[in-house]
Amino acid sequence: MEIKILGPGCPKCKSLEKMTREVVEQNGIEATVSKVEDIVAIMNCGVLSTPALVVNEKVVLKGRVPTVDELKKLLVN
């Protein structure tokens, strides 16, 4: 699984990245987690509101930080 956190580096973006890495580790999810801060790359994904979460090239969340349970459901399913 490939997971990308899209965001310029604001506190919400950093929070989503930290939470995503923790959920992946705690649940034994085999995934590559990366952070994309380039605004052009973010816009090319069709995202205008950050933070955003991309799983296997599909935007599954944008514009907010999810709860831990919500994030877990997005990554496990």
> Annotated active-site positions, please?
10, 13
The residue assigned the tokens 């506190």 is 11
Dig out the tokens for 5 from the structure: 């956190």
**Among the listed residues 20, 44, 41, the one whose alpha carbon sits nearest the alpha carbon of residue 31:** 20
**Amino acid, single-letter form, for residue 32:** T
